[in-house]
Every structure is written in C-alpha cells, then in structure tokens.
C-alpha cells in the first residue's frame, strides 16, 4: 500500500514547530527568487522539485507557514495546471496549503510545482536606510538543496551590510542581484541594509539635583563619537563649564550646582550611524587597551569558573557563539526593573538573562581570554521588541559589547542578545545601523551613567527621545579663542561636531613665544562645547619694546588676533645702568673731591 505524505516547509521570522518527515523519503530542490520593488513590496517565486526516494511514498500536499510576513496574491501550479491555495491565518502566522493535481508516483519520480505570492513587509525604509529581512528557512528534510536569488533596485543605494554574504552578485538593468546557496538561508535568513548611513534625531534630558548645603561639581555623559557614529549637537542648555574626554572616549559635560539647586539639562542633536568604521578614527593608547582586560564588579575575570570557560574559548567568535547558545532571554524580566546579575550569575543561571547578562558574560569571558572588551549602553531601534528586545529600564535603552580588534585597530560592536532573540541572525560579523551609543564602560563596569539614567526623584518623565532623521544638519565647524596673555590662550569648540588633530599656530613678529614642556599645543580631540587651555610665555625680540605687540592664533582654518604690551629692556643695558647708579652712590658717599681740596 502506497503511503501518502504531506510535505511541510516553514518560512519563519521567529520560533515555530513544523512536522517532521523522514529525510530518506524525498530529495527536494528549491529555487527561490525574491524581487524587491522600489516601494518596498516583494514578489516571491518558488520553484520546487520533489523526487521520491521510495517506490511506495509520494507527496500529495504541500504547506508553507510564514510568521511575521503579510502575503497576498497567492498563486500556485503544477503539471496538472493551477492549484487553488488554501490560506489560513492565526495570530501572526499565515499558512498556505496546496493539494497537488498530479502527484508523482514511483521511485525517482519528480513532482515539480510553483508557488508565487507578494510579501508586503520584507523591505522597509527606516530613516536613510532600506532594511531587507528575508526570514529564516526551516526545512525539516536534510536532503534539501537549491539556490536563492535576491533582486534589489539600485535606487536603494549602496549595500552597507548583508548577512550572510552572497556567493556572488551582479547588476542588470537597474537591479542588483545577489545569489545564495539555499543552505546559507536555512536557519538564519538574509538581512541586508542599503544606504550610506543612518540618521537619528535626538532630544535628551538630564535631571540634576544637589540636596546638600554646599556647592558641588558633577558631570553628565553626552553621546560621543565612536568609530561607528558621529554626533552633532544643535543645542545644550544650560551650557557646561567644559566637556572632557575620559579614557574610554566618553564626553563628560561638567556642571556646578549651588546648594540645594535643581537643574534640567536639554541636549538636542543628530547622530550619523555607519555600518563600517570611520577611517582614521582615534586609536586608544596602549595603556587604555590594557585596562580593558581588568576585572570589574560585573566582570569577575579572575573567578575560576570564568577562567575555566575562557580557556575553552580563544576567539571573539567562539565567545559570542557560546554566549548566544548558553543563555536564554527572559523577556518578562525587562518589565520588572531587574537587578543586573553580572557575568558569573549569568554563567551559572543561564535561564535569567536579558541584554546586560549577555553583554557582561561576553566581556568577562573575552577579558579572561586576553581579549580587551567593554560595554556600550545606548539606544537600539527595533520594530519588534520580542525579536530584538531592549533590556534597560531607564527609558528605552539597550546594552551590547565591543571587543578590540588588534589587526584592524578598532573597537568592534557585536550584539549577542539580538543574535539569540532573532534565532540566528548574525550580529557578530556585522551589527546594523540601528545601534546608537550613549555611554562607554571600559575602565568601570557601571559608570558613567548613560542618558536616560539622570531621573528626577519627584516626577516620572521620558528623557530619551530618538527618531529617524530625514536631513543632515550643517556641520558648522567653528572655534573661538580667548586670549589670557601673556600667560595662556583658550580654544573653545563653538561648533556642532568634535574637532580632531587641531594644531594651533601661535605667532608674533615682535615676540618670542615659548610653550612649557608640560603644555602641548596640539589638540587630539575637542568635543563640542569643550575648552582647551594652552600655556605659553612671551618675550620681546627687540630692546626697549614699549609698543603693542600683535599675537596671531590660526586654528581650524580660522585666524584670531590680540595685542599685548611686553616691556623689554636688554640685560646689557640694565646691567650697565645698574653699575652706573652704583658708582654714583659710592662717589656721593666717599666724596673724593673733598680730599683733593684739602691738599
């Protein structure tokens, strides 16, 4: 008696179950073609061949289950003609079932059929970036092979990232074609970003309170530049006294609060997020890199359990894979204002993890393995909090780690949390342009606090507002120079962006200008609102200099001038004049002419 089987094939964005059929029953070949249209909709064509491996087993039905995918215009056919699809929807799942017109009966017999449909949400434009998500393919038969093709309009812009990497690509008549082996898409799907960069407009509020009876000084962490982002500030009110750069690269704005004073600080600006690191970004000092190997409160590098596991994991990739596979994400913990557990607790209790545990465990294992690593707190855009969740309660924040790539001389961001919750999307090889860093934790595991953590104690508030930007603000690189002659000048960044590798030139025609050995006039980085004082000494080049002397400072392509009086007397004249005065005093006291008269 011949056995009839219904072939089930899953196409999913999330986790699901699919009936299993014995892999020895069929050899399956899939030819999948995804054509993305300029408006973001997609047409999907599947050409499928089922070859029987047994004489008494053949397929009569085929079903396709899609999760998180909206479909329309479903059509199908086989050698017997059109097939009427049976479509059912339950929650976010859509199932398409086909009953074949002419099943192929007999060993080595092949049934060929086509399935076509439109998918409305495979491509979406978020801000400046087109993001394409081809869901993972769940194929229960190990004897499946084939090819997948993705066609994307050239109008989408430059390819920023694609995971997995295609086997090859080519351009035809306004369309970029990317070719994959079907096995590449099984389990992971395909994720691609097109665009030069992403733009986020942001408004951040910091609530500061001085409950003491004396003046205090404090700092807030402003979102800084990193290798993968550039931050432009349109407003920071009230303005800070200064902004300093710490060893981790944080921008710390300095404020003074009077006794029992409360102030609200508002920062407004724009962030450009890149898929690849910026060229020639600041390379940290070797001592800073070394400090990112140290043990910290949430990263107990020296603990025997951490050390033992790290010995088994010698590369960042191995550590990432272990963290993704070992930990389980607990979405319900996010709503409960959870306590940060740290790396050791995450290792010992893998069922209780949120983004902080994924991050802490990666960092502790990396440092124990001799790989510098650090934590990033910030904003991460997602359309599905269940698939790509956010884990910090202070407004809508996320945590992810970075490791130091010595060969590339850059900090590389990875996201094991999203690698877990997206069920296999590769957030190691490349992240995306949806991660916006607020604060960097390297030398300390819990400081500085990111924006969104500076809360008022009396009233709840939403202090982090981030949305996609449509147009870049003007950069407007400007500095101002404050002269404190003859002893110093101060250079202030009055523009919107950080300035790098400034080399102020201080000159004068009539004065010699010297810098003390402890002072350097080269400025490696000057964040927005920051001030840098340069100590100097002035000496006249001409004797009897009683005139106004012009001092010129050229920096950032701008020129500033100030006059100063330097009263100069040559030392020879001063010495000679002193000697003459001394001689007159001696002559006055001894009066030798009186002795001459008496004789």
Higher pLDDT, residue 520 or 331? 331
DSSP 455: -
Under the banding of pLDDT at 50, 70 and 90, the label for residue 298 is very high
pLDDT at 90 over 90: no
Q: How do residues 333-374 score in pLDDT, each as one tens digit?
A: 887 678 999 999 999 999 999 999 999 999 999 999 999 999
pLDDT at 393 over 80: no
pLDDT at 21 over 50: no
Q: Give the mean model confidence (pLDDT) for residues 549-563.
A: 96
Residue 11 is predicted with a pLDDT of 43
Residue 17 is predicted with a pLDDT of 28
Q: Give the mean model confidence (pLDDT) for residues 399-403.
A: 98
- The answer as to CATH 2.40.50.100 being correct for domain 479-565 is no
Which pTM was predicted?
Answer: 0.86
Lowest mean pLDDT among 280-294, 316-330, 563-577: 563-577
Asked whether the beta carbons of 277 and 430 are under 8 A apart, the reply is no
Nearest to 3 by CA among 51, 53, 56: 56
pLDDT more than 70, % of the chain:
87
Residue 141 is predicted with a pLDDT of 54
Under the banding of pLDDT at 50, 70 and 90, the label for residue 44 is very high
Higher pLDDT, residue 422 or 396? 422
Structure tokens at 44: 């999907």
Separation of CA 511 from chain center:
48
Residue 344: count other Cβ atoms within 10 Å of its Cβ: 17
Under the banding of pLDDT at 50, 70 and 90, the label for residue 1 is very low
Under the banding of pLDDT at 50, 70 and 90, the label for residue 476 is confident
Higher pLDDT, residue 37 or 458? 37
Q: Give the mean model confidence (pLDDT) for residues 560-585.
A: 70
Superfamily name and number for 3-193: tricorn interacting facor f3 domain (2.60.40.1730)
> Of the segments 7-21, 200-214, 463-477, 579-593, which one has the largest average pLDDT value?
200-214
Under the banding of pLDDT at 50, 70 and 90, the label for residue 18 is very low
Higher pLDDT, residue 588 or 508? 508
Domain boundaries, the chain: 3-193, 198-273, 286-459, 479-565, 571-599
**Taken in order 232, 236, 242, 243, is the CA torsion positive or negative?**
negative
Q: How do residues 260-297 score in pLDDT, each as one tens digit?
A: 999 999 999 999 999 999 988 999 999 999 999 999 99
What does the mean pLDDT of the chain come to? 88
DSSP 347: H
Separation of CA 434 from chain center:
8
Q: Which residues contact 593 (CB under 8 A, 6 or more apart)?
A: none
Q: Is 101 helix (H, G, I), strand (E, B) or coil?
A: coil
> One fold for both 286-459 and 479-565?
no
Higher pLDDT, residue 460 or 327? 327
pLDDT at 388 over 70: no
486 preceded by a cis bond (ω within 30 of 0): yes
Separation of CA 248 from chain center:
14
Question: How far, in Å, are 78, 99, 114, 317 from residue 81 at the CA level?
Answer: 5, 12, 10, 49
pLDDT at 123 over 70: yes
> Of the segments 58-67, 468-477, 538-547, which one has the largest average pLDDT value?
468-477
Pick the CATH number of 286-459 from 2.170.190.11, 3.40.50.970, 3.40.50.300, 3.10.620.30: 3.10.620.30
């Amino acid at each position: 008696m011949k056995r009839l089987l219904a072939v089930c094939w899953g196409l999913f964005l999330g986790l699901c179950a699919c009936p299993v059929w014995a892999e020895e029953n069929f050899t399956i070949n899939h030819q999948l073609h995804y054509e993305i249209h300029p408006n973001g909709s997609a047409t999907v064509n599947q050409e499928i061949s089922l070859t029987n491996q047994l004489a008494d087993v053949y397929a009569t039905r085929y079903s396709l289950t899609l999760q998180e995918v909206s479909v329309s215009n479903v059509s199908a056919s086989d050698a017997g003609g059109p097939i009427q699809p049976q479509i059912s929807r339950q929650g976010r799942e859509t199932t398409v079932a086909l009953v074949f017109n002419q099943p192929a009966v007999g060993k080595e017999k092949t049934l060929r059929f086509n399935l076509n449909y439109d998918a409305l949400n495979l491509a979406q434009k978020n801000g400046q970036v087109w993001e394409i998500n081809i869901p993972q393919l769940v194929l229960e038969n190990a004897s499946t092979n084939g090819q997948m093709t993705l066609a994307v309009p050239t109008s989408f812009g430059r390819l920023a990232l694609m995971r997995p990497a295609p086997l090859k690509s080519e351009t035809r008549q306004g369309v970029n074609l990317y070719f994959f082996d079907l096995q590449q898409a099984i389990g992971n799907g395909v994720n691609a970003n097109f665009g030069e960069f992403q733009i986020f407009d942001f408004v951040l509020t910091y609530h500061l309170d001085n409950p003491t009876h004396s003046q205090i000084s404090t700092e807030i962490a402003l979102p800084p530049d990193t290798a993968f982002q550039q931050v432009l500030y349109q407003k920071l009110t009230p303005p800070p006294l200064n902004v300093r750069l710490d060893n981790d690269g944080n921008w710390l704005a300095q404020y003074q609060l009077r006794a029992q004073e409360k102030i609200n600080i508002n920062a407004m600006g724009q962030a450009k997020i890149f898929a690849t690191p910026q060229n020639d970004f600041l390379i940290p000092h070797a001592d800073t890199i070394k400090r990112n190997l140290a043990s910290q409160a949430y990263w107990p590098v020296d603990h025997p359990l951490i050390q033992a596991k790290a010995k088994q994991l010698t590369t960042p990739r191995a550590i990432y894979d272990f963290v993704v596979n070992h930990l389980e994400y607990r979405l319900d913990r996010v709503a409960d204002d959870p306590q940060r557990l740290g790396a050791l607790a995450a290792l010992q209790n893998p069922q209780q993890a949120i983004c902080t545990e994924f991050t802490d465990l990666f960092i502790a294992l990396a440092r124990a393995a001799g790989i510098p690593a650090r934590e990033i707190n910030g904003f991460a855009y997602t359309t599905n909090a269940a698939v790509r969740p956010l884990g910090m309660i202070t407004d809508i924040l996320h945590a992810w780690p970075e490791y130091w790539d010595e060969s590339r001389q850059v900090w590389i961001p990875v996201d094991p949390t999203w690698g877990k919750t997206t069920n296999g999307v590769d957030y190691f090889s490349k992240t995306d342009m949806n991660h916006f860093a607020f604060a960097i934790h390297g030398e300390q595991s819990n400081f500085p606090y990111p924006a969104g953590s500076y809360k008022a104690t009396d009233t709840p508030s939403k202090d982090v507002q981030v949305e996609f930007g449509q147009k870049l603000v003007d950069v407007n690189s400007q500095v101002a120079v404050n002269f404190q002659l003859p002893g110093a000048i101060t250079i202030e960044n009055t523009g919107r962006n950080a300035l790098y590798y400034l080399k102020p030139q201080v000159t004068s025609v009539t004065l010699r200008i010297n810098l003390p050995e402890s002072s350097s006039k080269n400025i490696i980085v000057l964040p927005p609102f920051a001030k840098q004082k340069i100590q100097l000494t002035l000496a006249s080049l001409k004797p009897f200099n009683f005139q106004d002397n012009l001092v010129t400072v050229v920096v950032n392509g701008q020129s500033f001038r100030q006059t100063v009086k330097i009263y100069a007397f040559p030392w020879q004249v001063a010495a000679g004049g002193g000697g003459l005065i001394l001689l007159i005093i001696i002559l006055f006291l001894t009066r030798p002419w009186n002795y001459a008269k008496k004789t």
